[in-house]
Structure 1
Amino acid sequence: MKHFLIALQFSCLALFTSLDSKAAESDPPNIVFIFADDWGWGDLSCHGHPYVNTPNIDRLAKEGTDFLRFSVASGVCSPSRTAVMTGHFPARYNIDGHFAWVPSNARRNMPDWLDPNAVTLPRLLQGGGYATAHFGKWHLSNNMIPDSPLPSAYGYDAYGAFNCAGEQMPVHEDADHAIEFMQQSHQAGKPFFVNLWLHEPHTPFHTVPKYRWRFRDLDEVDNIYASVLSHADDRIGEVLDAIDRLKLRDNTLVVFSSDNGPARAKKASELALMHDTATGAGYNIAASKGITGGRKGYKAALFEGGIGVPFIARWPGKIAADKVDASSLISAVDLLPTFCEIAEVSLPEDYAPDGVSQVSTLMGHQKQQRQKPLFWKMNAGRSKPGDNSFHWVSYAVVHEQWKLLSSSDASHVELYDLDSDPLESVDLKNEQKTVVASLLSKIESWKETLPASPDPSLFSAERKK
């Protein structure tokens, strides 16, 4: 009789496990989007960094697919994040640079915050039954603009953030809040969408002795840089462990990426402490030691070093494990339609994203030629190249295998075949003049669709002063 009861218990357990498994397969998938700040393509141990150690991100790559041709929509923070939120090129919102204090925004013909009435990814998912949260950096406005909308105005059920109006969340508390939110959402029986937008490795570098000690044999600036990345990687590991603990691993898409390439000082700088009004005191840009994996340029440039960043996606059973995709071109503007398709959330009929859904690409299906061109617009610091300068580019377009970079008046251009030359080593403008003319025409046509100036409803009351 005892053996019968044991057998019955195991039979019931197997039945319930089977039912739980089938229920999990039918549940909407959770989505965790980890977006770092200034994390270069080469700043991962799985990408060959000589001393940075990122075992948790490496774990994502081992358990998922590493996409080598992902591009963000700008070389700097705020426009890059705008593209993720809206599925649009940020120039459609006059967001061509980072949000700063009001006089700087006004001087650069920018609004003071992203339009809260725009179609946004979290609001779409929220409408589709998801619990939505944002933890970490915001920078779709600025903490120096106190009347800017809070993240909750864009479709988040919960948030903890910095570089926004209101209370500034301490930078290292992002993972703790994300884990708590995932637990609460799971207990409530709701799928969740979580933005985990890390501060690292943006200045100031907020170091912790435990992580400095890990790299105690390195020179000071390398030690600082490695320590903050290691701290961020540990927090990512805590989130991954929580997903496992909640038994949600197989039904959760986790994506790791970065908003732009690594920062570099314009000239040699002495290591010193600096203070940021949103995040506090830490080390300055002299400790910015990020690398691009051979890509040309750095942060604030539209060359691949500025916009070609890590993109690793894990979704067990859906996305191939331990795979590298070196050919599929994915853009940040693709994330909104992609995440919505995964969540089975329909896009509004009057909304036309600049991006396309990349679900089939993530799942390793046959590569298709991208039909829509990708465009970039930035406020360049010069009109033609100077010594070791990558910041002369005001416009860029990628179509088929070609990438064209142009100064503001098109007096200087460069053309690269990204399929055969992803590191932009050989300028082909003289050999491919017809291609150059065609791509310049596309840029001009695109520019005609952009607004001349921001909507005044997106101006702070500070402008009236």
Structure 2
Amino acid sequence: MNRTVTSKKILFLFFLVGIQGLLLGQEKPPNVIVIFVDDLGYGDLSSFGHPTIRTPHIDQMAQEGVKLTQFYVGASICTPSRAALLTGRLPIRSGMAGSKNSGNVLYPRSTGGLPQSEKTIAEAVKEKNYTTGIIGKWHLGHLPEYLPLNHGFDYYFGIPYSNDMLPPRYKKAPKLPLYENEEIIEHDPNQKLLTKRYTEKAIDFIEANRDNPFFLYYPNNFPHTPLHVSDDFENRSKRGLYGDVVEEIDWSVGEILKTLKDLNIDENTFVVFTSDNGPWLKRGKKGGSAGLLYEGKASTYEGGFRVPAVVRWPGKIPANQTFDAITTAMDLYPTILNLMGSPLPDDLTLDGVDLMPLLSGEKKKVNDVVYYYLRDELYAIRKGSWKAHFITKPSYSKEKPKIHKTPKLFNIDVDPSEKYEIGEHHPEIIEEIKDIYKEHQKTIKPVKSQLDLGY
């Protein structure tokens, strides 16, 4: 009898060990953090060539991961760029691009926002039991039905639009609201403390969800103007106030990465750092730099659409790599959903592709076409090395858009500053890109422009 009981106990122990082995063999779903700063230019990080702004934590992130040198956003200005990131779709498809009759972005008087028909990353991953949070700038609609908690986020702390959308610049605007979830908890918060408060809230969110998979979207309001920085970082940068602000953002990134390491979830967290568009050159010293790229925010030149990007996932993505392949913010949508095992929506046209084959070193490229929209008009297309401008216009200029009967052609790989127009030598390339233009237009269906509502 005792021998039988002992045998059963041994078998039961083997069963437990076997189950434990199976559980250990199953990889825990990865956490994801997307840090999406505002108006940071391609040349504003030391790892991307800035001579005086010091960004050691982002630089370290690049050394421990991948630096993407040809990363493009879905639009060169706030609202449509954010819509593209969170939906994986060009803003022209969701009604978030704007029109000739609207502004470039949503304003405090606007009554539109990201339609409920769109499925955000947050909504998709919640189906896989992820906890979702946003800390920072939303800018996809400030009316209740458009706020983050109605687009898949469990927690929200931040400002619903840009930090300059307040009186006296916007005479009829209310005092700048700071939200926690669906409640305005402060009016006109001290912007000098915003980055510190955002960092604290981000760390609180990570710590609270250390044992459960989470998606954290951290769109800091800065370095969009007006610039504000805490006393700890004031007058520290040789680049002046703008540099101070960027260096405090770098500190914030460092605190988040340190938290991941302290909690032993570092190797199970996929982290992305990038910007919503190029620098606001109109702001002079208070704006950033696109480095060698031409133009900036609100333009369809490289300086408006190409932004710095760094991706880090220890043990899964090879360290200290620089990839020159074309990638886009819209690629993050399918990449993140695939990482989490969430199916891609089959009723919506996606404009991104999964980046993991590239990031893991399996493939050299995953995409080679970029569409440059300004509001609802397609101004330019890049195919591989070649970029054709069908329409050109300087940013923030009263100059009318110039339509080119023969598109202006540039080789972006050798001429990122777009100085040397060489279309006459490559008519076959122009024809190829014209064909891409025609085929792309067939995929665009008319939708209501949300940026026109209340403008």
**Global fold match (TM > 0.5):** yes
Residue in structure 2 matched with residue 74 of structure 1 by the alignment? 75
Q: Which amino acid aligns with 2:53?
A: V
Residue in structure 1 matched with residue 202 of structure 2 by the alignment? 178
Asked if 1:433 is matched to 2:452, the reply is: no
- Per-residue CA distance 1:286-307 (angstroms, 9 max, x = gap): 4424112201111111111111
Confirm or deny: 8 A CA contact 2:94 2:118 kept in the other structure: no
- Cα RMSD after superposing both structures: 2.8
1:76 positional shift:
0.8
1:48 positional shift:
2.4
Would the alpha carbon gap of residues 179 and 25 (structure 1) be closer, same or farther in structure 2, given more than 3 Å must change? farther
1:112 positional shift:
1.8
TM-score (normalizing by structure 1): 0.78
Confirm or deny: 8 A CA contact 1:112 1:148 kept in the other structure: no
Q: Distance in 1 between matches of 2:427 and 2:154?
A: 51
Confirm or deny: 8 A CA contact 1:133 1:193 kept in the other structure: yes
Of 330, 345, 348 in structure 2, the residue corresponding to residue 348 of structure 1 is 345
Confirm or deny: 8 A CA contact 1:94 1:453 kept in the other structure: yes
Confirm or deny: 8 A CA contact 2:93 2:447 kept in the other structure: no
Of 180, 191, 194 in structure 1, the residue corresponding to residue 216 of structure 2 is 194
Alignment of 1:111-260 (within 5 A): 112-141=112-141, 143=142, 146-147=143-144, 149-164=146-161, 167-169=177-179, 171-172=194-195, 173-186=197-210, 189-215=211-237, 218=238, 222-260=239-277
Residue in structure 1 matched with residue 310 of structure 2 by the alignment? 312
Would the alpha carbon gap of residues 424 and 345 (structure 1) be closer, same or farther in structure 2, given more than 3 Å must change? same
1:21 positional shift:
13
Q: Distance in 1 between matches of 2:243 and 2:414?
A: 32
Residue in structure 2 matched with residue 94 of structure 1 by the alignment? 95
Confirm or deny: 8 A CA contact 1:263 1:298 kept in the other structure: yes
1:50 positional shift:
1.7
1:345 positional shift:
1.3
Q: Distance in 1 between matches of 2:423 and 2:435?
A: 15
Q: What secondary structure is seen at the aligned counterpart in 2 of 1:95? A: coil
1:102 positional shift:
7.6
Higher relative contact order (CA 8 A, sep 6+): 2
Q: What secondary structure is seen at the aligned counterpart in 1 of 2:115? A: coil
Would the alpha carbon gap of residues 416 and 348 (structure 1) be closer, same or farther in structure 2, given more than 3 Å must change? same
Asked if 1:405 is matched to 2:415, the reply is: no
Residue in structure 1 matched with residue 186 of structure 2 by the alignment? none
Gaps of 5+ in 2: 1-16, 99-103, 162-173, 180-188, 392-400
- Per-residue CA distance 1:167-223 (angstroms, 9 max, x = gap): 42553222211111111112xx320110011112101101323212323xx4xxx31
Q: What secondary structure is seen at the aligned counterpart in 1 of 2:136? A: strand
Residue in structure 2 matched with residue 359 of structure 1 by the alignment? 356
Residue in structure 1 matched with residue 418 of structure 2 by the alignment? 424
Of 301, 304, 307 in structure 2, the residue corresponding to residue 303 of structure 1 is 301
Confirm or deny: 8 A CA contact 2:198 2:220 kept in the other structure: yes
Confirm or deny: 8 A CA contact 1:85 1:120 kept in the other structure: yes
Q: Which amino acid aligns with 2:139?
A: H
Q: Which amino acid aligns with 1:42?
A: G
Q: What secondary structure is seen at the aligned counterpart in 1 of 2:331? A: helix
Moved more, 431-440 or 329-338: 431-440
Q: Which amino acid aligns with 1:306?
A: G
Q: Distance in 1 between matches of 2:120 and 2:366?
A: 27
Q: Distance in 1 between matches of 2:113 and 2:159?
A: 14
Confirm or deny: 8 A CA contact 2:326 2:365 kept in the other structure: no
TM-score (normalizing by structure 2): 0.80
Q: Distance in 2 between matches of 1:24 and 1:297?
A: 50
The alignment of Structure 1 onto Structure 2 pairs a total of residues equal to 395
Of 385, 409, 414 in structure 2, the residue corresponding to residue 415 of structure 1 is 409
Q: What secondary structure is seen at the aligned counterpart in 2 of 1:232? A: helix
- Per-residue CA distance 1:59-79 (angstroms, 9 max, x = gap): 101111111111111111111
- Per-residue CA distance 1:120-176 (angstroms, 9 max, x = gap): 1111111112111111111112x5xx4552111111111112125994255322221
Would the alpha carbon gap of residues 445 and 242 (structure 1) be closer, same or farther in structure 2, given more than 3 Å must change? same
Q: Distance in 1 between matches of 2:337 and 2:404?
A: 37
- Per-residue CA distance 1:371-427 (angstroms, 9 max, x = gap): 6x33222149xxxxxxxxxxxx95221223322121164436321233444443432
Q: What secondary structure is seen at the aligned counterpart in 1 of 2:32? A: strand
Gaps of 5+ in 1: 1-15, 106-110, 266-284, 381-392
Asked if 1:375 is matched to 2:371, the reply is: yes
Q: Distance in 1 between matches of 2:199 and 2:416?
A: 34
Confirm or deny: 8 A CA contact 1:99 1:112 kept in the other structure: no
Q: What secondary structure is seen at the aligned counterpart in 1 of 2:47? A: helix
